[in-house]
Amino acid sequence: MRALSHSSISLYLECPLKYRYKYMDKLPEEPRHFFSFGKSVHSALEFLYGVKLPPPPSLDQVLDVYRKKWLPEGYKDKDMEARYLAEGERIIREFYRTEVPKFRPPLFCEYNFRLQIEGVPVTGYIDRIDKLPDGKIHIIDYKTGKAFDLGRMKSDPQLALYQYACRESLGLEAASLTLYHLPSNTPFTVGGYSEGFEEGVRDRVAAVARGLTDQAFEPDPDDDKCRWCDYRKPNPAIGFKGCPAWRDEYASPEEKCETAYGNVDITCLVDKYGELKAKARALDDELKPVKDELERYFREKGYRKADGTRFRVTCDSKEKWDFGEKDGEVKRILEEAGLLEKVSSVSAAALQKLLKDRALDRDVREALESFGEKTVVRTIRYSALDKEPGNGD
């Protein structure tokens, strides 16, 4: 297995299929100006902090390196590139003015770590590591993108991974960690993350490793997330048909009519489907009291199936949890248990999935359940007595 990084872990959790296209199939991506800009500014700061002894390089020297290492890829035109070049110079001047008066050569600049987490190779680069007087370290990561606030720092998996890597690779404890937002010249700093939070980061690594081992590469489509994805559209130049989740959007009329059984009249099928769905809705009022009576029967008897003379119905039960307005209490429980990163958001769906995990600590489960309200949803399915069960109603 190729070594994982924070970026590749995050990409797999965002969309497993995009991970496969990028890291395994190595399909090309369009250059992005924000990547070029970030790397260009990082190169200048790497030069600034790359000295072994004071004094630091002069501002003119740092700006000269910035211009020489400028990456022009991804900008839509020369005007846009010129604006970003000037913005980078502004950022570097402000950073130099603020930070150089307290300059000390760092312990490491662009530190490359490689380690094993749960038996999985993990690697990464840390922009800067400063040694503190008490022997502990301060980890700094530069950001050139959109603004954020201190709230992000409370649960940043990238910095938590860096903290863990420094302890395992260097034997050094992080007393503080900083995300330095360069455009606003603002450092956001927190103390070291808890062991429970680090465990959540290790769980992320293990989850991605399991997915890769199981060849789990299903797409996870979302309009906002997929809008800028290079793999959404077909690329005939390399024989790429596009993401299957969006393939219908780019298919020709002929392709839309092609099936394994030949061509179909898709217009006729769509209209027929609409007509039948309208008739089905008209039967809902008649069906509902029958369904309610069946659910009551199964609930009271505790049975799962019942037979008529021509049909069989089965009743599947599923627990659902509603946490109402208790987000704050739930988030506190998850954070204390180091599980906040295990859920994509404090939502009913994410918490439901967590509660289904048999490995969840019993005390954590009981604490979460105390803030939720459980309901049982029953799904009625039917089949002819000599056939497999049909769709739920």
3-state secondary structure the chain: CCCECHHHHHHHHHCHHHHHHHHHCCCCCCCCHHHHHHHHHHHHHHHHCCCCCCCCCCHHHHHHHHHHCCCCCCCCCHHHHHHHHHHHHHHHHHHHHHHHHHCCCCCEEEEEEEEEECCEEEEEEEEEEEECCCCCEEEEEEECCCCCCHHHHCCCHHHHHHHHHHHHHHCCCEEEEEEEECCCCEEEEEECCCHHHHHHHHHHHHHHHHHHHCCCCCCCCCHHHHCCCCCCCCEHHHCECCCHHHHHHHCCHHHHHEECCEECCHHHHHHHHHHHHHHHHHCHHHHHHHHHHHHHHHHHHCCCEEECCCEEEEEEEEEEEECCCCHHHHHHHHHHCCCHHHCCCCCHHHHHHHHCCCCCCHHHHHHHHCCCEEEEEEEEEEEECCCCCCCEC
pLDDT bucket at 342, cuts 50 / 70 / 90:
low
pLDDT for the residue 105:
96
Q: What confidence score (pLDDT) does residue 259 get?
A: 57
pLDDT at 88: 98
Domains defined along the chain, listed by start: 31-102 (no CATH), 108-200 (3.90.320.10), 289-384 (no CATH)
Which of 292, 283, 289, 380 lies closest to 391 in space, CA to CA?
Answer: 380
- Among 4-8, 26-30, 36-40, 195-199, the range scoring the smallest mean pLDDT is 195-199
Q: Model's pTM, two decimal places?
A: 0.67
Amino acid at 70: W
Residue 191 vs residue 301, higher pLDDT: 191
Q: What is the pLDDT of residues 240-285, one digit of tens each?
A: 989 999 888 887 776 666 655 566 676 777 778 888 888 888 888 8
Q: Is the pLDDT of residue 74 over 90?
A: yes
* Residue 330 pLDDT: 78
